[in-house]
Amino acid sequence: MPEISVNMNIADQQLTMLFDPDLPVHNAILAELQNTGAYEPGTQFFFMRVLRKGDIFIDVGAHVGYFSIVSAALVGDKGKVISVEPMADNFKFLERNISVNNLNYVHAVKSVISDTQGEVTFHHNQDNDGGHALWDPRKHPGNEKTRQTPKSETLPSMTLESLLTKFECDHVRAMKIDTEGAERMILESGRSFFDRGDVDFVIAEVNGSGLVEMGSNVDDFFAYARDLGFVILLPSVDGSAPTVLARDNRPDPGYVYNVILAAPQALADF
């Protein structure tokens, strides 16, 4: 099937994105855009509430760049977007989506973000073009193609601290981390920035099985986020104010979902 081009209007800016409908995550994005006009609406609407002209946005696990492109329209050419994606096929789409929109203030970085400065072994997910990981996805019960044709490769890796330092990110308004369970590790690899209060908001994926494969778990991840000083919130799919995460409103642990980590001083101005 040929590529599909989708036009969007974000912050009065016309944007174009390219997708391959034969790939599962591309197809999921297309379907959600058709049905609701937004992909992962809780995440998208939150960024639309908090990102301002001139802000810095970091996208770790950018895939083809959907949230990088949306956020670029929100921060404008006086802002900065750092878009990180390690997998070659995804990265090609990311670069093309940046190029077709002439977004020269979006910086594409082909790297893993982890606790390692150098190289790491990274595993392909043949069932899910958004499911490549630092752990072996053959372990997931639904990944039959991956078990049949396993593949891993050595890829460059950098810590979050080195990434933010390289691109002179003195204060990050918002960050997205979608890395199949490596979220806690990545937060730890940039701890000095969080300790200084240099990051206002993080939207992080909560993938319970992925966190376990990476030597953590959901409770440990949340405890670490709170130790960094963050308040944990659940995004609202209708764009209304997020709600504070509590024991009695946690999503089903079998689901993968996103949470907002909010610095209290930024939340006060929200």
Q: Which of 18, 37, 50 is CA-nearest to residue 241?
A: 50
pTM over 0.75: yes
38-61, pLDDT tens digit by residue?
999 999 999 999 999 999 999 999
Task: Indicate the average pLDDT of the chain.
Answer: 96
The CATH label, of 3.30.365.10, 3.40.50.150, 1.10.486.10, 3.50.50.60, for the domain at 4-268 is: 3.40.50.150
Q: Is 9 exposed, middle or buried (0-12, 13-18, 19+ CB in 10 A)?
A: exposed
Structure tokens at 9: 């209007």
Concatenate the DSSP letters of all residues of 88-113 into one string: HHHHHHHHHHHHHTT-TTEEEE--EE
Rounded to an integer, what distance in angstroms lies between the CA atom of residue 233 and that of residue 242? 6
Residue 1's pLDDT is: 59
Which amino acid makes up residue 100?
A: V
Residue 254's pLDDT is: 87
Q: Which residues of 106-129 are buried (b: 16+ CB within 10 A; e: fewer)?
A: bebbbbbbbeeeeebebbbbbbbb
User: Collapsing DSSP states into helix, strand and coil, what is residue 37?
Assistant: coil
Average pLDDT of the segment spanning 9-19: 97
The confidence band for 240, taking pLDDT boundaries of 50, 70 and 90, is very high
218 near 253, Cβ under 8 Å?
A: yes
186-207, pLDDT tens digit by residue?
999 999 999 999 999 999 999 9
pLDDT at 269 over 80: no
Domain ranges of the chain: 4-268
127-154, pLDDT tens digit by residue?
999 999 999 999 999 999 999 999 999 9
Q: What beta strand segments (E) does the chain contain? A: 4-10, 13-19, 56-60, 80-84, 106-109, 112-113, 118-123, 152-158, 172-177, 199-206, 231-234, 243-244, 257-262
